[in-house]
Structure 1
Amino acid sequence: MWSFVIDVGKDPETGKRKQEFGSGFKTRQDAEAAAAALITEVNHGTFIKESDILFKEWANDWLPLYIERNGPKPGTIRLRQYSIKKLLPYFASIKLKNITEEMYQSALNDLKDQDFSRSTIEGVHTTAKMIFKMAVSKKMLKIDPTTNAYIKKDEQIIIESDEEELPAFFEKEELALFLNTVRKKGLFMDNAIFTTLSYTGMRVGELVALKWKDIDFNKQTIHITKTSYTPDNNTKKYQLVPPKTKSSRRKIAIDNIVIDTLMKHKEEQEKLINHLGDSYLDKGYVFANVYRHPGYPILVKFVESRMDRSLKKTVLNLRLTPHSLRHTHTSLLAEAGVGLEEIMDRLGHHDDEVTRKVYLHVTHEMKREASDKFSNLMSSLI
């Protein structure tokens, strides 16, 4: 076996000469070729001494650097942590420099074979690319193994109907039945919660973060400036974070029904605040707890359980969720003749495929109905 030793210059920190070793070559020619390539890199200033750090060690070092540089929202940090957790079974104890393109691609393929959703794998892939990119930028690594990686496409199947691709939402008669049930049999706050969600299309996280100062009763608008983040469903450990996207920060016009409902709710809330006295931590939330941790904003889970309770008192689809009211709002606006762009603006979407599908479904049915009416009219004349 042949080997070589090359002087690669001085260590900038110690001032001592540094040497690089190469060994395990079967022939003298192989050793000389490798040495020549290394000398070329040194002479051109492209030589990189790759780190011996393990992937799990670098991932652990990378996350605080990523947070410091980007200041991401808590939900994004949680996503990065989740993605690292998914990468560790493949690379944890492997040196960063020894992870090849083939190894990384194999990991993505395996995640796909385990039936993780495409969005989940995309999140893992995005995190991995950032981890390796920073390692390259810090000259810990020569080649980024994620550069040419891809996520395998789903097998194309024939879909006889697009109905199954649509999210669940109420028809207008069903929404009326649900809201009437809430008014008659709901508990404190229920009517205000579900009327507001139904008539505005706001996200549940936006609803629970609402404060009274966000509502302008004179101009009849609700200003969406934040959303609530409670990953552990701990009432006291909530965080208020910026809306999902830049377009999510918006003002929603509301009508008299919502105004009257919210004003009535405010009156009821103030009576309870006076009754509870100092035990109520008044931070101005529209939808606040009054029993346990009075004054703290309610949880998204609270809204979900209240909706389940009311649905069980009807003959409606029990699989519907508070988010279904957002899709319902889209469908009813489309039925009322509101354009897709205006709907997107009201919902705080720059673009959304699900909203587009609901809109196109409703408008397609409206066009078909118009065609049927014309046909019936002509058949009565001919």
Structure 2
Amino acid sequence: MAYIRKIGLTWYYTVDIGLTLEGKRDQKKKGGFKTKKEAQLAAGKIEDEVASGLYIRETDTTFKEFVAEWLELYSDNVKESTVRVREHEIGCLTRHIGKLTKMKDITIKKYEKSLSALKKEGYAANTLAGIHGTAKMIFKKAMEFRVIRSDPTQYAKLPRVQKTVEELEQETEIPKYLEKEQLSLFLKNAQNRGLEGDYTIFLTLAYTGMRAGELCALKWSDIDFDEHTISITKTYYNPGNKITAYKLQTPKTPSSKRNIEIDDMVIKELQQHQSKQNIVKMEHRKEWHDKKFVFAKTDKNYGYPNYIKFVENRMTRLLKTSKLPEELTPHSLRHTHTSLLAEAGVGLEEIMERLGHSDDEITRKVYLHVTKTKKKEASQKFSELMRNL
């Protein structure tokens, strides 16, 4: 039963809400009510919540403290690269919410002001959406842990970001890739003027459409030389580009785990590459990092997998010597693979499956761009057919 009393000019209530962790009587006290009836009504609401099990006693937990607890739980179920993204987004929020701000004091208004401040700093709409998504996960968990009574992100609205002309143009812009004649020139240059391993690396990327991280993580056990397939089951992770500090992680998405059929020419090149690698491996067998990587270092750090930046640097060199656009990247070879498959008449669904996408807007754009010409040709052929009747 609530205890109501008057202190000075205002009324206060005291309500029993259960026991503390130490087994002592726990009470909720609040004052400042102008009338006894106001205090009774407020106390009655608390009593009803306690009786129904819905009462939440908000704690003085700070944003920094709760985020650290949430991040520890979150990190157990996701890849390290994902955790790094969340840490960056949390850092953006913390600057404006304040690391010492109590969770219970973060209102919708305060939260929306934080998002508006980030918008003024120039963050793009996609980045703000990512920050908001992380915040929603944090405050949802705070509700589950009964740290707060209401979720400030639940009805919060993201600030509208006016897109620049460049951003609007990029939305419709087709990603850059190599035309088939350019790809042929690039691969010939890799074969004739490339550094050790260049031709095998870029032939594999171009003929499979795999990601650079998937290529760096590839092991000999992933290649079935009899069935002419490559199995993609992992990806390479090494943000610091320290050769010996790499990690292997699960693929980017569930659909990224796949088997890719490969051409005879690629199989033969990989077999030759394996033979050359075995010679170096025998010469340095005592120091060889024997984890069976296909694209392994053969100078220093013998046997360790090549890192993604290494592949990017090698490609930039070859593009320069081939007089091809130097802004292209290993990922551009995925778009090149898409364009050539589309030109060869392979369906979009089959291309998506080969690339390890359940759905991807960029792949769709490249496919539609390439097949647009074929659709025009089909229309023209139909018209010609009717005119000849």
Fold match, TM over 0.5? yes
Please tell me the residue identity of whatever aligns with 2:357.
Answer: H
| In 1, Cα distance between equivalents of 2:74 and 2:92 | 18
Match of 1:129 among 132, 136, 139: 136
The aligned counterpart of 1:178 is: 186
| In 2, Cα distance between equivalents of 1:3 and 1:292 | 78
The aligned runs of 1:73-152 (5 Å cut-off) are 73-91=79-97, 92-152=99-159
Instruction: Answer yes or no: is the 8 Å Cα contact 1:220–1:254 preserved in 2.
Output: yes
| In 1, Cα distance between equivalents of 2:269 and 2:259 | 18
1:14 maps to 2:51:
no
Normalised by the length of structure 2, the TM-score is 0.90
Structure 1 counterpart SS, 2:259: strand
Structure 1: gaps spanning 5 or more residues: none
The aligned counterpart of 1:199 is: 207
Instruction: Answer yes or no: is the 8 Å Cα contact 2:13–2:39 preserved in 1.
Output: no
| In 1, Cα distance between equivalents of 2:265 and 2:207 | 9
Shift of 1:158: 8.4
Normalised by the length of structure 1, the TM-score is 0.92
1:42 maps to 2:50:
yes
Match of 2:266 among 244, 258, 262: 258
1:210 maps to 2:205:
no
The aligned runs of 1:1-382 (5 Å cut-off) are 2-68=10-76, 71-91=77-97, 92-155=99-162, 165-371=173-379
Structure 1 residues 156, 305: closer, same or farther in 2, change over 3 A? Answer: closer
Please tell me the residue identity of whatever aligns with 1:297.
Answer: P
Structure 1 counterpart SS, 2:57: coil
Shift of 1:39: 2.9
The aligned counterpart of 2:3 is: none
Please tell me the residue identity of whatever aligns with 1:76.
Answer: T
Larger mean CA deviation between 312-321 and 190-199 belongs to 312-321
Instruction: Answer yes or no: is the 8 Å Cα contact 1:3–1:21 preserved in 2.
Output: no
| In 2, Cα distance between equivalents of 1:54 and 1:154 | 30
Larger mean CA deviation between 22-31 and 181-190 belongs to 22-31
| In 2, Cα distance between equivalents of 1:152 and 1:246 | 32
Structure 1 residues 373, 204: closer, same or farther in 2, change over 3 A? Answer: same
Structure 2 counterpart SS, 1:41: helix
| In 1, Cα distance between equivalents of 2:169 and 2:22 | 70
Instruction: Answer yes or no: is the 8 Å Cα contact 1:5–1:19 preserved in 2.
Output: no
Instruction: Answer yes or no: is the 8 Å Cα contact 1:225–1:242 preserved in 2.
Output: yes
Structure 1 counterpart SS, 2:284: helix
Structure 2 counterpart SS, 1:149: coil
| In 1, Cα distance between equivalents of 2:287 and 2:54 | 66
| In 2, Cα distance between equivalents of 1:324 and 1:153 | 31
Please tell me the residue identity of whatever aligns with 2:145.
Answer: K
Structure 2 counterpart SS, 1:278: coil
| In 2, Cα distance between equivalents of 1:149 and 1:292 | 53
Structure 1 residues 126, 158: closer, same or farther in 2, change over 3 A? Answer: closer
| In 1, Cα distance between equivalents of 2:197 and 2:165 | 45
Structure 1 residues 329, 238: closer, same or farther in 2, change over 3 A? Answer: same
Structure 1 counterpart SS, 2:29: strand
Structure 2 counterpart SS, 1:223: strand
Instruction: Answer yes or no: is the 8 Å Cα contact 1:223–1:251 preserved in 2.
Output: yes
Identity of matched residues, %: 47
The aligned counterpart of 2:6 is: none
Shift of 1:273: 1.4
| In 2, Cα distance between equivalents of 1:229 and 1:158 | 35
| In 2, Cα distance between equivalents of 1:164 and 1:131 | 34
Instruction: Answer yes or no: is the 8 Å Cα contact 2:15–2:43 preserved in 1.
Output: no
Measured against aligned partners, the alpha-carbon deviations of 1:12-41 in whole angstroms (never above 9, x if no partner) come to 533322221213345555444433332332
| In 2, Cα distance between equivalents of 1:31 and 1:7 | 11
| In 1, Cα distance between equivalents of 2:248 and 2:68 | 26
Measured against aligned partners, the alpha-carbon deviations of 1:218-267 in whole angstroms (never above 9, x if no partner) come to 11000111101112111111111111111111110001111111111112
Shift of 1:316: 1.0
Shift of 1:121: 2.2
Structure 2 counterpart SS, 1:14: coil
Structure 1 residues 161, 277: closer, same or farther in 2, change over 3 A? Answer: closer
Please tell me the residue identity of whatever aligns with 2:276.
Answer: E
